[in-house]
Amino acid sequence: MDSDLCGYAVYRYRNLYFVYYNRRHSFLEGLGINLLRSMREPNAITKQQQELEEIMKTSDISKALEGQSESGSLEPDDFILSERRPHRDPFIEWVYEIDLDHNIFHINGIPFFSLECLPDDESFLANISEDHYVNLACAPGCPPEHQYKKPAPPLVADSELATYQSLLCEGTHVAMSNLLASRDVLPSSEHVRVSLLETMIGQCMIRPDVVPIIYQIGLVSNHNQLTDQEWSTACSMANLAFIPQMFDDLPESIYHSKLTRKEFTWVREDTVVYIVTHLDDERCLRASISRLIDAILDRDEGPGDYFGVAFSIFHCAVVKVVKDARTAMFSHTGALQFLPPFFADSPSTPGITALARLGYRIDPALFVRAAEICRWPGGLERFGYRRDPARSMGILQVSSVPEPTIDESDQEQSLIQVAEDAPPYTNSHHTVLPPELWREIALDLHLLDLLAFGSVSKLCRTVASIVLRFPHIGGYRLVAVPKDRPGCLLSEYRFLHAGSFYAVRDRVSTTVFVGLGNRRRMMSIPFGYRLSPCPLSVRFSAKVQRDATQKQLVAIGDVK
């Protein structure tokens, strides 16, 4: 045990943080126990509030906030006054926060105990544990009376339910497959999107700088109290399901646009996201659905099917609004669990599956959206990648390695409808290829070549859009999820934040691991959780399946 560990003792009062620097003995048995004992004293909460109130009366708060000192220069009784919660850094190992606004004892940004019923020293140490994502956490067996209390749902006025009650509701707590008019059983191609979103959410849950924000969102009384940082964290998680599934280890190649805080965020032309809280409360759920319906009806778009997502990180709900020229009707899911518990045994939740499926729907604007985020003119040539236009656009040889296809009737019909759109001729004899063969060509292209291919004609764009529904990571197209998890994911709950996928690149069957690998290969996930949006860097690796059996290859090629 290092006696020289530095730490902070923090008191939160009226949304201000009084930060005291501790030079030595900041470990749990030292500073942690000392603070615990001080708050177990009779009337400790009231006395501490009075003390801080007196400091605020006799101090120039504005000047104190402007003149924040470096922690290393502080004397034991001095403090820093801050509007931002202090956090761990390379020099600060432990941060203990006495939250007098919520009556919670926090450790390293994680809420643990109720100040109104603190445990004894032994129970305090015994209930500080580690969750399945390797974060500091309160042990599952901690007595309920010692655990911190979450705020009650906000009161919902009847006026906030007016739209919900005035329109025709075709169903509540509707299954997602019914909203989408799709099968209950996910096809393999859709399973890839679900599994990748599970992995990305797991990556968020192992970040020591993201996890405290997640917990803090759970302490917010209503969505109007969310800070920009909290809103950005929540909206980024929801948005992962809807952005074009293109990620690379070269930021110069792919750049996802940043989110701007709005009450309603349109992630697609027909889909809007609304960041809220307390979706597990029925009146809050219906009020959120009502606001989403208003946002959809207020949008100056024509008749059609529109979707709204109420999202709180912990839960989500999806509403479908069918508009025609005169009327509108709606149906919606219940509150679906989105974030897995921190002591989860599976990365899967109904909410993650629902949003992944919603984002997987056919998007007429997908090709344009993909082209906008891909800086493809001259992008990869600067890094030694050479495109072969002859291979990309002229050679009509179909890959000898079975490639994935999405065999869905609506996509097949789309190909038939645009087949008359003067598809490119293949040679001087002006032979017109059938749409199916153009799809085989598209499946053999690198991502940047695929975008060039899609700009040739309406038919090529439709074909390219089908291929773009598969996730692309570092030049690999993910086409299926193995039925069994590989051994490298089974230990230490790695499968909660890492995933394996069958992939194809240059006609070669490959297994791609997302969340595992070394720092030489990192893909960027757009994620705004800081004051300035900053992507999450996620490791990935690839292993060529040199000994892949014909049965395995056929399984990859028969993706439905």
487, part of any domain? no
Token readout for 234 is: 């929540």
Which amino acid type is present at position 167? L
The 8-class DSSP code of residue 499 comes to E
189 inside domain: yes
For range 87-105, the mean pLDDT:
95
pLDDT (0 to 100) of residue 217: 97
Expressed in angstroms, the distance from the first to the final Cα of the chain is 56
Both 41 and 62 in one domain: the answer is: yes
Together in a domain, 75 and 20: yes
Token pair recorded at residue 210: 């993201």
**φ/ψ (deg, to 5) at 256:** -80, 135
pLDDT at 351 (0 to 100): 99
Top pLDDT among 556 and 90 is at 90
- 433 and 327 housed in the same domain: no
Same domain, 331 and 445: no
In a domain? residue 537: no
The more confidently predicted of residues 256 and 68 is 256
Q: Looking at residue 16, what is its pLDDT? A: 94
Q: Is 298 left (phi over 0), alpha (psi -120 to 50) or beta?
A: alpha
Residue 554 sits at the vertex; the CA angle it makes with 444 and 466, to the nearest 5 degrees, is 40
Residues 17 and 72 in one domain: yes
Domain presence at residue 305: yes
What residues contact 455, with CB distance under 8 A and at least 6 apart? 371, 461
Strands 110-114 and 104-107: antiparallel
Residue 273 within a domain: yes
Residue 254: its pLDDT value, please?
82
Number of structural domains the chain divides into: 3
Q: Which residues does 10 contact at the CB level (< 8 Å), separation at least 6?
A: 17, 18, 19, 20, 85, 86, 95, 96, 97, 98, 106
Per-residue pLDDT, 157: 97
The pLDDT tens digits of the residues spanning 534-544 come to 678 899 999 88
Q: Mark whether 355 and 374 lie in a shared domain.
A: no
How far is the CA of 306 from the CAs of 269, 478, 515, in angstroms? Answer: 9, 28, 34
Q: Are 10 and 95 in contact (CB under 8 A)?
A: yes
Check whether residue 246 and residue 118 sit in a common domain: no
Q: Among 249-258, 269-278, 463-472, 509-518, where is mean pLDDT lowest?
A: 249-258
Task: Answer with the one of 345, 367, 389 that is the final residue of a domain.
Answer: 367
Joined together, the tokens standing for residue 11 give 């008191």
Indicate the helix (H) or strand (E) that contains 469. none
The rounded distance, in Å, linking the Cα atoms of 322 and 320 is 7
Mean pLDDT of the region 94-109 = 98
Burial 361-375, CB ≥16 within 10 A → b, else e = bebeebbebbbebbb
Statement: residue 357 has pLDDT above 80: yes
Enclosing domain of residue 439:
369-468
Asked if 535 and 527 touch (Cβ cutoff 8 Å), the reply is yes
Whether 57 is in a domain gets the answer yes
Higher pLDDT, 112 or 302: 112
The reply to whether 298 and 202 lie within a common domain is yes
Stronger pLDDT, 410 or 151, i.e. the higher one = 151
* Cα separations in angstroms, 345 against 132, 144, 216, 368, 481: 8, 22, 23, 39, 19
Of 50-64, 273-287, 344-358, the range with the lowest mean pLDDT is: 50-64
Q: Do 259 and 129 share a structural domain?
A: no
Summarize pLDDT for 368-414 with one digit per residue, the tens: 999 988 865 543 343 333 444 333 333 322 233 333 444 444 444 44
pLDDT tens digits, residue range 286-314? 999 999 999 999 998 889 999 999 999 99
% pLDDT > 90, the chain: 65
In sequence order, which residues have a C-beta less than 8 Å from that of residue 432 and are 6 or more positions away?
A: 423, 425, 426
279 with 267, same domain: the answer is: yes
The lowest-confidence range among 72-86, 169-183, 290-304, 496-510 is: 72-86
Residue 289 lies in a domain: yes
Query: In this predicted structure, which of 352-361, 376-385, 517-526 has the lowest mean pLDDT?
Result: 376-385
Q: Is residue 294 part of a domain?
A: yes
Indicate whether 437 pLDDT > 50: yes
How many other CB atoms are there within 10 angstroms of residue 159's CB atom?
9
Beta bridge partners of 171: 331
CA 132 to chain centroid: 18
Together in a domain, 376 and 451: yes
pLDDT at 439 exceeding the cut of 60: yes
Cα torsion 86, 87, 90, 93: sign:
positive
User: Which pair of structure tokens corresponds to residue 186?
Assistant: 């996910």
Mean pLDDT of 156-161: 97
386 & 358 share domain: no
Residue finishing a domain among 451, 468, 485 = 468
What mean pLDDT, rounded, does the chain reach? 85
Domain final position from 138, 172, 204: 138
